[in-house]
Structure 1
Amino acid sequence: MALLLLTTGWKMTVVIGHAYLSCGLFHSTYCVVSISLFGKRDVQGVGNKWYPNASLFTHFEELQSLYLVGNNIGGWIMLEVLCELRNLEALYLGGNSLDDGGLPRCLARCGLPSLRVIYLQHNSFNLSAPLLSALCGLRNLRVLDLSHNVLSNGSLPPCMLDTFSSLESLSLWNFTFEQSPNLLTALCGATRNLRKLDLSDSNLNVERIPPCPQQNLSSLANLNLRGTFTKNYSTALLKGLICGWKKLKVLDLRRNGLSDESLPSCLFHNNSMLEELYLSSNNLKGSLGFSIGTTNAVI
C-alpha cells in the first residue's frame, strides 16, 4: 500500500536489497533500501508546491537512500517522523522550495545517526538559517551540497560550525556569501577533514579569508574556484584561498580574468602534490614564470 501511494503520478525507481532483517510491513529478507521519486513538479506545474506525508516513508525501515529531487516540495505533513529512518545514509532534496520547516528539528538531536550525505542545492534560491539549523546535530555528516542558493535571512547558525568540521565534501557552487560572513570562518574550521571544496561561480564579497590555523594539516585535495573572482577580484583573497594547502591535487581557476602577474608563486611552491591545474578563459599571455613541478595537466 505504501508503495502504491508513493508511485501515483511519479517517475519512480525502487531498489530492493537483500537483508536478514524484518522489513517493516513486508516481514521478508528483501528490503527496500533506496527510493527515487522525481518529476512531481512536471505533473503539478512549477507554480504548485507539494506537501508530502513523510509517514509513508517510515514503512521502509531499512531505507538507506531517499532521492526527492525536483519535486517542488514546499514542506511536509508529519515531518518529524523522518527521524524514524534510522538507517538512512543519503537524503537528496535539491530542486525543491523548502521553507524554514523543511527539515525535521529532531536531526539536531542526532535523530539520524547514519546520515552521511545531504543535498539541498537549488532550493528556489532560498536557504534560511532556521532551515539549516536542523543540520546542527549531524556529527557524522560527510557530504553537503548547498549550491545555487542564497542565505535568505542572515548568517549561518553558529551551531553549524561543528557540523562543518566533520565534512569531507562541501559544494557551494553559485552560492551568495553577501549575508553570510561567518561562512568563511566555518570553512576554516572544516579544513581538517575536508577533501573537496567547490566555490565556483560564488559571490565572495570579502577582501580576505580569516587565518586558518589548521590549513597546514588540511586534507583538501580538490578545490574548484572557477568563476569565483569574476565580480570581486582580490589578491589577498586569491592567495588566502590557494596558498597554504599542502595536499592539493586538483585546482580549477578558470574564468577568473587572471593575469600573469596575479597568479601567486605559492601556487606551485606549496603544492608539490598538484596534478591538475585548470587556467583556461583567463588573461594569461606569457609563461607562468615558475616551475610546474609534478603537475600533469595545465589546461
Structure 2
Amino acid sequence: MMIKHFTVDQSYKELTEHRTLLLPIACYETAINQNINGHIPLHWHDEIQFVLIIRGEAVFQINEEKIIVQEGEGLFINSGCLHMAEEINHSGCVYICLNVSPHFVLAQDLYATYVAPYIQATNLTYVHLDTKEEWGKNILEAIIKINHLMQKKSPYYEIDITVQLTLMWQNLIINGFQLKYEQSEMIRNKRMKQMLNWIHQHYTEKVMLKDIAQAGQLSRSECCRYFKRYLKKTPSNYLTDYRIQKSKALLQQPDSNVTDVAFQVGFNSTSYFIEKFKKSMNMTPLTFKKNKND
C-alpha cells in the first residue's frame, strides 16, 4: 500500500490509524514527492516508527537533529518525537514505514523492563540503521519481511509479524544504550509542542509572537530560540509556512478562489499570500490550483 497523504490534528499529531483489524501496527510505502506538500511535514505520533529507504535518499529531521538516510538504510524514530522528511536531489525517494504501538512490541509482562525505559529516554530520539552492523542488518531485513507479510496476509501472518517485531526490538536494545532521562529535555519538548499546537489552532487569526511564547510559558526571545533550535526558522516563518501548507488543500477545492483562500488561512493581503506562496512553491497559487485540478 502506498500512502501519499496523511492528516494531523491541531497539535500536529498524525491522525493516520496505525493498525490492522487485529494488530496495532501499520506498514506501508511512502513516496515523499507524492505528498501534497512535496515533503513529509512535521508531525508526531505515539507509535514507534521504523523506516527503510528502498529508493533514493532523504533528509529526516527528528526533534532538532537532521540526518541523511540513503537507499538501503533506515531509521528508528522514538515515540512522541517531532519529525519530518524531504527527499534529496529529486531522487524519487520511497521508503517503507512501519509504525508500532509500544505496548505491542513485547508481551505486557516485559513492557516495564524492556520497552518503557527506551520509550521514555530523552537521549534516544532516533537510531540510524544500516547493514554495516549485524544488528542493523537484522532490523532492516525484518522490516522487509513484515512488509511482505502485511501484503500477502498468509495464514497466521499476525504471529509471524510478532516474531519479527521481537527480533527487531531485541536487536535494537542489545546495543547497550546508556539511557538518560533529563527533565529539562522533557519540558522543552512539551513546550515546543504547546507552541505548535497554539499556532495550529489560531493560524487563521492575527498571531503575535507574545501569544506563541505565552503558549509555551516562555519569553519572546526564548520562544525564538526554541524555534531556531527545533525547526531552524523563526516563529513567523513557521506560521507563514503552515498557512501555505493549509492553503494547498483549500486551493484544490473546485469552487475556491485565491483571495478567499488567502483570508481563510490568515493572510490579510492577497498579494502578500501570492508572494509567499510563489516563494515557497515556485508557482503562483492559481497555477497550483490549475495543475492540481487538471
Q: TM-score, normalised by structure 1?
A: 0.24
Pick the structure with greater CA Rg: 1
Q: TM-score, normalised by structure 2?
A: 0.25
- Structure number with higher helix proportion: 2
